[in-house]
């Protein structure tokens, strides 16, 4: 077992983030300023160019929007703590632990710890000594969490969903695991339509209308496609023997969305701003229940009914 790379040497200190840890950070991580675009916001970190290139190779970064670009800086430090979790069968059981404070959320995985304020303020990323491939994974996972929090700050959110574009408008499909997000995406793709992502999509508001954009994070099935598109319909999926659309009571619409929004639905300090975002969304773009059958007739049917 000692020779297995998935079983690193045991930790010589307790797991987790020590008390007072953030006050001990004084050594910035070496590297130059690197920028990653999320919607119309630049997320800026100091990282070595080689590490930044590795991260970018795993992202699909969208082009600039017409709206003014804002910048959110993440302060990156070398961690005095060598490891935050004991790695067991990594990466097969990879997980992130969260601690919810009054003003910020703290979280950690194996070789990183992060702190993100609920309101405006600089986030902090502490990177422990590790290989560049391990740090690539850790920075990418930090960015996923930071993206989810940042989007709520920006009046948007990250949704576990698939999205397909017909003409210039998008249909967004979401649901619990196994409901058919990837299946619906494949059916639209096979029918010759553009699929944004079958995993994670960003929903945002522009001039009173809601739009969808694939998140920059590559899904396990296929690479995401760029573009920002107005959403025509928003469907909660159920696999069925027939195709039908049902209206959903407003409280259930809210519950469906909350159960499929990434990360922030479990952070108490972000619950109120998240509800504000959804309260703006639902009057303009209600969630409908879509019972669908997995066959080639589904896409023509949905287009004729939507």
Digit-coded pLDDT (tens) for 219-259? 655 566 778 999 999 999 999 999 999 999 999 999 999 99
Angstrom distance (rounded) from CA 40 to CA 148: 14
Whether residue 94 is found in the same domain as residue 179? no
**Is 92 found in the same domain as 174?**
no
Whether residue 112 contacts residue 127, with contact meaning beta carbons closer than 8 Å, is answered with yes
d(CA 241, CA 243): 7
Q: What percent of the chain has pLDDT over 90?
A: 69
* Whether residue 255 sits in one domain with residue 146: no
Is the pLDDT reported for residue 59 higher than 90? no
Strand, coil or helix: 127: strand
State the pLDDT at residue 6.
46
The reported pLDDT for the residue numbered 75 is 97
Task: Specify whether 216 is located in the same domain as 148.
Answer: no
- Residue pLDDT, tens place only, 88-99: 555 556 789 999
- Claim to verify: residue 45 and residue 71 sit in the same structural domain: yes
Whether 164 and 272 map to the same domain: the answer is yes
What 3-state class would DSSP assign to 158?
strand
2 pLDDT higher than 50: no
Q: What is the pTM of this model?
A: 0.90
Whether residue 99 contacts residue 14, with contact meaning beta carbons closer than 8 Å, is answered with: no
Cα dihedral 10, 13, 14, 19, rounded to 10, equals: -150
- Between 2 and 225, the more confident residue is 225
Is residue 5 domain-resident? no
Q: What is the pLDDT of residues 136-155, one digit of tens each?
A: 999 999 999 999 999 998 99
Q: Do 161 and 297 fall within a single domain?
A: yes
* CB neighbourhood size of 210 (10 A): 20
CA–CA dist 224, 216 (Å, integer)? 7
Over the stretch 69-89, which tens digit does the pLDDT of each residue have? 788 999 999 999 999 998 655
What stretches of 93-180 show up as alpha helix (H) in DSSP?
A: 132-153
Which residue range forms the structural domain that includes residue 56?
21-153
pLDDT of residue 225: 73
Residues 6 or more apart whose Cβ sits within 8 Å of residue 47 = 29, 31, 32, 34, 55, 76, 139
For residue 52, the surrounding DSSP H or E stretch is helix 49-56
Q: Check residue 220 and give its pLDDT.
A: 56
**Average pLDDT value for residue range 211-223:** 76
pLDDT more than 70, % of the chain: 89
Which one-letter DSSP state was computed for residue 227?
A: -
Q: pLDDT of 268-299, one tens digit each?
A: 999 999 999 999 999 999 999 999 999 989 99
Q: Which two tokens stand for residue 121?
A: 């303020």
For residue 65, pLDDT over 60 is answered with no
């Amino acid at each position: 077992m000692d020779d297995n790379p998935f079983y690193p040497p045991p930790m010589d200190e307790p797991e987790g983030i020590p008390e007072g840890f953030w006050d001990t950070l004084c050594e910035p991580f070496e590297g130059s300023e690197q920028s990653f675009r999320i919607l119309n916001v630049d997320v800026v970190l100091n990282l070595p160019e080689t590490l930044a290139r590795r991260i970018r190779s795993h992202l699909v970064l969208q082009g600039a929007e017409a709206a003014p670009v804002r910048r959110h800086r993440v302060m990156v430090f070398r961690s005095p703590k060598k490891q935050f979790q004991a790695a067991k069968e990594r990466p097969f059981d990879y997980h992130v632990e969260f601690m919810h404070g009054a003003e910020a959320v703290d979280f950690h995985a194996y070789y990183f710890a992060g702190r993100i304020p609920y309101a405006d303020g600089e986030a902090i990323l502490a990177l422990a000594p590790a290989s560049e491939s391990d740090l690539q994974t850790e920075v990418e996972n930090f960015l996923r969490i930071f993206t989810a929090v940042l989007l709520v700050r920006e009046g948007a959110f990250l949704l576990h969903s698939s999205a397909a574009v017909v003409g210039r408008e998008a249909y967004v499909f979401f649901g619990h695991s196994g409901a058919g997000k990837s299946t619906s995406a494949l059916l639209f793709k096979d029918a010759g339509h553009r699929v944004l992502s079958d995993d994670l999509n960003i929903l945002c508001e522009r001039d009173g209308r809601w739009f969808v954009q694939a998140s920059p994070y590559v899904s396990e099935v296929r690479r995401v496609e760029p573009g920002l598109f107005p959403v025509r319909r928003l469907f909660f999926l159920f696999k069925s023997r027939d195709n039908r659309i049902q209206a959903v009571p407003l409280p259930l619409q809210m519950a469906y969305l909350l159960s499929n929004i990434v990360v922030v639905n479990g952070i108490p300090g972000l619950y109120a701003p998240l509800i504000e975002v959804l309260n703006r969304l639902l009057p303009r773009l209600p969630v409908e229940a879509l019972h669908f059958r997995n066959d080639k007739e589904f896409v023509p049917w949905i287009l004729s009914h939507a």
